[in-house]
Amino acid sequence: MQLLEKEQIAEIESKVVIINGKFRPEPCIALACPDEYSAVDFNQLSKSFIMEFNK
C-alpha cells in the first residue's frame, strides 16, 4: 500500500481529484495498492455503518 497525494491520485483516477480541469480545493489523500484495482467510497461506507447501527 502507498499513500498518495492529489497529483498521484490524478495519475490513477483523475475524476476523483480534478473538477472542471482544476484540482479540488480540499485536501485529498488516498491509499493505493498499485498492482491491484479497488475503490471504496468511505463516505457511503460510513453512512451504511450508521444505517446498520440504527436498525
C-alpha cell at 9: 491520485
| pLDDT tens track for 7-45 | 999 998 899 999 999 999 999 999 888 788 777 888 999
The distance from CA 54 to its chain's CA centroid, rounded to whole angstroms, is: 26
d(CA 21, CA 10) in angstroms, rounded, equals 11
Q: How many residues does the chain have?
A: 55
Count of C-beta atoms within a 10 Å radius of residue 9: 20
pTM: 0.62
Q: Which pLDDT score, from 0 to 100, does residue 36 have?
A: 80
Q: Which pLDDT score, from 0 to 100, does residue 28 have?
A: 93
Q: Which pLDDT score, from 0 to 100, does residue 12 have?
A: 87
Q: Which pLDDT score, from 0 to 100, does residue 48 have?
A: 95
Domain spans, the chain = 2-53
Q: Which pLDDT score, from 0 to 100, does residue 27 have?
A: 94
